[in-house]
Amino acid sequence: MAEKSARRAALEASLAEDPTDAFLRYGLALQCLREGDTEEGRQRLLALIADDPEEQIAAYQQLGQSYAEEGDAAQATEHLRVGIAKARLKGDWHAAAEMEGILSQLST
């Protein structure tokens, strides 16, 4: 992997000050995915979900999307379906619809 970006270094530094900040943790996971560090990004998303499975709807979406982009339909489907269910329970219809859209693209 290439050298870490300044953005990623800044997120890691901020997170070192407050390791429980879910927003920073999510941002770092996305930055890892953007930089091609897919495994670390996914692990960070899974950790967020494990810590707060009812609230981390965006983490389910990003996790599912990362698998979909890689062509792993089974893993993408698994995470998206759980995310859709969680989103519906919270009344987050927009997130549910976005994940349903990704899911429908997998079957085409």
Rounded CA-CA distance 83/62 in Å is 10
The tokens for 34 are 């953007």
Domain assignments of the chain as residue spans, ordered by start: 6-106
Compute CA 91 distance to the chain's CA centroid, rounded to the nearest angstrom: 19
Residue-wise pLDDT for 61-101, tens only, equals 999 999 999 999 999 999 999 999 999 999 999 999 999 99
Residue 1 has pLDDT above 60, yes or no: no
Rounded CA-CA distance 72/90 in Å is 27
| Helices vs strands, H then E, count in the chain | 6, 0
Residue-wise pLDDT for 63-72, tens only, equals 999 999 999 9
Going by C-alpha positions, the residue among 31, 60, 65 that lies closest to residue 45 is 60
The amino acid at 62: Q
CB 59 within 8 A of CB 47: no
Task: Look up the CATH architecture of domain 6-106.
Answer: Alpha Horseshoe (1.25)
